Homo-oligomer: A and B are copies of this chain.
Amino acid sequence: MPSFMKPQLPKGMRDFLPGDMLRRQYVTDTVTDVFETFGFEPIQTPVLEMYDTLMGKYGEDAENLIFTAQHAEGKSELALRYDLTVPLTRFFSMHENELPLPFKRYHIAPVWRAERPQRGRYREFYQCDADIIGIPGMEADAEVLSVTATAIERLGFHDFVIKINNRKLLTGIGQYAGLSGDALNSLYRTIDKTDKIGLDGVRAEFSKNGLPDSVIDKMIPLLASAQNIKGLAAGARMIGSLRETLEAFPTAMEGLNELETLAQNLEASGVPGDNVGLDFTMVRGLSYYTATIFETGLVSDDPEESVGSVNGGGRYDDLIGLFRKESLPTVGTSLGIERLMYLMERRDMYPATLSKTVVQVLVTVFSAETRRASMMLAATLRRAGIRTELYMQDKQVGKQVGYADKKGIPLVTIMGPDEVSADQVKLKNLLDGSEITVPTDETVLKIKALLEQRP
Stretch at the interface among A6-14, A240-248, A439-447: A6-14
Within the complex, what minimum Cβ distance (angstroms) separates A31 from chain B? 14
B residues less than 8 Å from A11 (CB atoms): 76
The answer to whether B359 and A47 have CB atoms under 8 Å apart is no
A49 within 8 A of B: yes
Q: Does A449 contact B (CB under 8 A)?
A: no
In the complex, A219 has a CB within 8 A of chain B? no
Given contacts A43-B21, A114-B74, contact A269 B375 (CB under 8 A): yes
> A189 interface residue, CB < 8 Å from B?
no
Bound-complex Cα distance A1 to B338 (A): 43
CB-CB < 8 A to A65: which residues of B? 71
A186 at the interface (CB under 8 A from B): no
| B392 x A143 contact (CB < 8 A) | yes
Give chain A interface residues in 1-24, CB to chain B under 8 Å.
2, 4-11, 13-18, 20-22, 24
Residues of chain B lying within 8 A (CB to CB) of residue A25:
42
Whether, in the assembled complex, A306 has its beta carbon less than 8 Å from a beta carbon of chain B, the answer is no
Chain B min CB distance to A65 (Å): 7
Q: Is the CB of B64 within 8 A of A69?
A: no
8 contacts between A and B (CB under 8 A): A7-B323, A9-B94, A10-B46, A38-B382, A38-B388, A139-B371, A140-B392, A268-B375
Which of chain A's residues 256-288 have a Cβ closer than 8 Å to chain B? 265, 268-270
Docked-complex contact B4 and A324, CB < 8 angstroms = yes
Does A393 contact B70, Cβ atoms closer than 8 Å?
no
Which residues of B lie under 8 Å from residue A371 when comparing CB positions? 139, 268
**A448 at interface by CB-CB < 8 Å:** no
Contact of A135 among B5, B41, B393 (CB under 8 A): B393
Q: Does A249 contact B (CB under 8 A)?
A: no
A110 interfacial contact with B, CB 8 Å: yes
A209 at the interface (CB under 8 A from B): no
Interface string of A213-228 (1 = CB under 8 A from B): 0000000000000000
* A58 close to chain B: CB less than 8 A: no
For A146, list chain B residues within 8 Å (CB).
379
- Given the interface pairs A47-B124, A69-B68, A323-B4, the reply to whether A17 lies near B269 with Cβ below 8 Å is no
| Copies of this subunit | 2
Which 7 residue pairs are nearest across A and B when measured between Cβ atoms?
A39-B389, A18-B41, A71-B114, A13-B46, A268-B375, A16-B44, A270-B379
A 138-152 to B, binary, CB cutoff 8 A, 1 in contact else 0: 011011001000100
Q: Would you call B114 and A72 a contact (CB within 8 A)?
A: yes
Please give, as numbers and ranges, the residues of chain B lying within 8 Å of A143 by CB-CB distance.
390, 392
Binary per-residue interface labels of chain A (94-106) against chain B in the complex, 1 for a CB within 8 Å, 0 otherwise:
1100111010110
Chain B residues with Cβ under 8 A from A350's Cβ?
A: none
Q: A68: which B residues are within 8 A, CB to CB?
A: 69-71
Task: Find residues 363-411 in chain A having any chain B CB closer than 8 Å to their own CB.
Answer: 371-372, 375-376, 378-379, 382-383, 385-390, 392-393, 403, 406-407
**Smallest Cβ-Cβ distance to A381: which chain B residue:** B37
Q: How far is the CB of A143 from chain B (nearest CB, A)?
A: 7
B-chain residues with CB within 8 Å of residue A36 when the two chains form the complex: 358, 387
Mark A41-80 against chain B: 1 for CB-CB distance below 8 A, else 0: 1111111111011000000000011111111111010101
Closest to A113 in B: B71
Min distance, Cβ A257 to any Cβ of chain B, angstroms: 15
By a CB distance below 8 angstroms, the chain B residues around A10 are: 46, 48-50, 76, 78
Q: Is A357's beta carbon under 8 Å from chain B?
A: yes
Residues of B within 8 A of A212 (CB): none
Task: Verify if A127 is at the interface (C-beta below 8 Å from B).
Answer: no
Cross-chain contact A48 with B4 (CB below 8 angstroms): no
Contact A17 B38, beta carbon cutoff 8 Å: no
Closest Cβ of chain B: how far from A331's Cβ, in Å?
11
- Contact A100/B407 with A4-B321, A375-B268 known, Cβ cut-off 8 Å: yes
| Contact yes or no, B5 A48, CB < 8 A | no
